[in-house]
A and B are shown apart, each in its own frame.
Chain A
Amino acid sequence: MKKKIGSALVVGAGISGIRSGLDLAEQGYQVTLIDKSPNLGGVLMQLDYQFPTDHCGMCRMLPLVERDASSQFCLRKGLFHENINIMFSTELVGLEGEPGKFQVTLRQRASMVDPTRCIGCGECSRVCPVDVPDEFNAGLTNRKAIYLPIPHNIPNTYVVDTASCTLCGECEKVCPTGAIDFGKDARGRFRILVVDDELVVRDSLKEWLEDEGFRVDMAESGEEALKRVASEDYNLMLLDIKMPGMDGVEVLKRSKDIRPEMPVVMMTAYATVETAVEAMKIGALDYLMKPFDPDTLVPLIVQLYQDIERAGEHQMEVGSVILAAGFDSYDPANGKNTYGYGTLPNVVTSVEFERILSGSGLFRGKLTRPSDGKEVKKIAWFQCVGSRDQQADADFCSSACCMFAIKEALLAKEKTNGQVDTTIFYMDMRTFGKDFQRYRDRAEKDHGVRFLRNRVHSVELAGEGGELKVVYADTQGERHEDVFDLVVLAAGQRPPSTTGALADTTGIELNQWGFCQTDPFLRSRSSREGIYVSGSFSGLRDISESVIQANSASLEASRLIHSKGGGLSEESVSETTFRDVSRETPEILVAICACGEALPSAADLDLLREGIQRQGSVKSVQVIDRICTQEGWNELEQMVKEHEVNRVLIASCMPYVYGPKLKDLGQAVGLHPRLMDVVDIRTRIFPGHNGDKKEVARDMGAVIAMGLGRLRGMDPMPVPQIRVIQKALVVGGGIAGMTAALAIADHGFEVSLVEKSEHLGGNLRKLHRTIEGVSPQELLEETIARVEKHPKIQVFKKARVIHSQGRVGRFLTTIEKEDGGSEILRHGVSVLATGAREAKAQSYEYGKSEAIVTQHELEQKMADGAVDPKNLRAVAMIQCVGSREEPRNYCSRVCCATSLKNALYFKEQNPALEVYIYYRDMMTYGFLESYYTQARKAGVIFIQYDSDRKPAVAVDDGKPKISAMDPILGRELTLEADLLVLATGMEPAENNELAELFGIEINQDGFFQEAEYKWRPVDSIKEGVFLAGIAHSPRSVAESIAMGHAAAQRSLRILSSEYIAAGQIVAEVRHSICSLCEKCVSACPYGARMLDEEEGKIIVDELMCQGCGSCAAVCPNSASVLRGYRDQQVFEVIDAALEVML
Chain B
Amino acid sequence: MADFEPTIIAFVCNWCTYTAADLAGTSRLAYPPNVRMIRMMCTGMVDPKYVIKAFLEGADAVLISGCHPGDCHYINGNYKARRRVKLLKEILPRFGIDEKRLKLTWIGASEGVDFAETVKEMVAEIKALGPSNIKEQMVL
Q: Give the interface of A toward B (CB within 8 A).
A: 48, 53-57, 59-60, 72-74, 76-77, 120, 151-152, 156, 358-360, 364-365, 654, 656, 680, 682-684, 686-689, 691, 699, 702-703, 706, 1021, 1065, 1083, 1085-1086, 1106-1110, 1112-1114, 1122, 1125, 1127, 1130-1131, 1133-1135, 1137-1138
Contacts and interface: CB of A to CB of B under 8 A. Distances in A.
B110 A59 contact: no
B9 A1138 contact: yes
B63 to A, nearest CB: 12
Interface in B43-82: 44-50, 53-54, 57-59, 67-68, 70-71, 73-77, 80
A360 B112 contact: yes
- The interface residues of chain B, by DSSP majority, are classed as loop
Given A365-B113, A1107-B41, A360 B23 contact: yes
A1050 to B, nearest CB: 17
Contacts of A1131: 50, 53
Interface residues of B, number: 53
Interface string B8-52: 010000111011101101111111010010101110111111100
B103 to A, nearest CB: 17
A689 B49 CA distance: 32
Contact of B50 (A53, A654, A1106, A1130): A1130
Nearest to B50: A1130
Contacts of B26: 120, 151-152, 156, 654, 683
For the complex of A and B, list the 9 residue pairs with the smallest distance between their C-beta atoms, beginning with the closest.
A1109-B45, A683-B25, A688-B30, A1108-B74, A359-B111, A1137-B36, A53-B70, A55-B71, A74-B19
A702 B71 contact: no
A54 B58 CA distance: 38
A685 B18 CA distance: 18
A706 B36 contact: yes
A1130 B57 CA distance: 13
A59 B13 CA distance: 13
B68 A151 contact: no
Given A359-B111, A687-B28, A1113-B80, A55 B68 contact: yes
A1130 B84 contact: no
Contact of A699 (B33, B67, B68, B110): B33
Contacts of B29: 688
Given A53-B71, A1133-B38, A1085 B110 contact: no
B73 A60 contact: yes
Contact of A57 (B40, B71, B112): B71
B122 interface: no
Contacts of A73: 14-15, 18-19
B109 interface: yes
23 contacts: A55-B71, A55-B108, A56-B16, A56-B110, A57-B71, A73-B19, A76-B109, A152-B23, A359-B108, A654-B26, A686-B30, A688-B29, A689-B30, A689-B31, A706-B38, A1021-B75, A1083-B80, A1108-B77, A1110-B80, A1112-B45, A1125-B40, A1127-B49, A1134-B50
Given A686-B28, A688-B30, A1110 B19 contact: no
Given A152-B19, A359-B114, A1108 B44 contact: yes
A1109 B30 CA distance: 32
A152 B38 contact: no
Given A55-B70, A59-B15, A1138-B9, A691 B110 contact: no
B7 interface: yes
A1108 B42 contact: yes
Contacts of A688: 28-30
Nearest to B114: A359
Given A76-B110, A359-B113, A1113-B44, A1085 B77 contact: yes
B56 to A, nearest CB: 9
B62 to A, nearest CB: 10
B112 A1113 contact: no
Nearest to B8: A1137
Nearest to A1122: B45
Contacts of B23: 151-152, 360
A156 B23 CA distance: 12
B45 A152 contact: no
B22 A1134 contact: no
Given A57-B73, A683-B25, A706-B38, 6 more contacts: A53-B68, A53-B70, A55-B70, A1110-B74, A1113-B44, A1137-B9
Contacts of B9: 1134, 1137-1138
Contacts of A358: 110
A1110 B38 CA distance: 17
Given A57-B71, A74-B109, A1135-B57, A702 B41 contact: no
B108 A48 contact: yes
A1134 B19 contact: no
B33 A691 contact: yes
Nearest to B31: A689
A45 to B, nearest CB: 10
A1118 to B, nearest CB: 8
Contacts of B16: 56, 74
B122 to A, nearest CB: 16
Contacts of B41: 1065, 1107-1109, 1122, 1125
Contact of A1113 (B53, B58, B67, B84): B84
Nearest to B49: A1127
B13 to A, nearest CB: 10
A1140 to B, nearest CB: 9
Contacts of B14: 72-73
A1021 B76 CA distance: 12
Nearest to A151: B27
Contacts of B44: 1108-1110, 1113
Contacts of A72: 14
A55 B80 contact: no
A1132 to B, nearest CB: 11
B108 A1109 contact: no
Contact of B33 (A76, A682, A689): A689
A1079 B57 CA distance: 29
A686 B40 CA distance: 24
A56 to B, nearest CB: 6
A152 B27 CA distance: 8
B21 to A, nearest CB: 8
B95 to A, nearest CB: 16
Contacts of A359: 20, 108, 110-114
A1138 B23 CA distance: 24
Contacts of B15: 59, 73-74
Contacts of A48: 108, 110
Nearest to A705: B36
Contacts of A1110: 42, 44-45, 74, 77, 80
B57 A1134 contact: yes
Contacts of B114: 359, 365
Nearest to B74: A1108
A80 to B, nearest CB: 15
Nearest to B21: A683
Given A1108-B41, A1110-B77, A1134-B9, A56 B108 contact: yes
A226 to B, nearest CB: 56
A63 B49 CA distance: 31
A1114 B76 CA distance: 14
A744 to B, nearest CB: 27
In this complex, the member of A55, A689, A699 whose beta carbon has the largest number of chain B beta carbons within 10 angstroms is A55
Contacts of A682: 25
Nearest to A363: B113
B28 to A, nearest CB: 5
Nearest to A1012: B75
In this complex, the member of A76, A1085, A1108 whose beta carbon has the largest number of chain B beta carbons within 10 angstroms is A1108
B57 A1138 contact: yes
A684 B33 CA distance: 7
A1107 B19 CA distance: 18
Contacts of A1114: 80
Given A55-B68, A687-B28, A1138 B74 contact: no
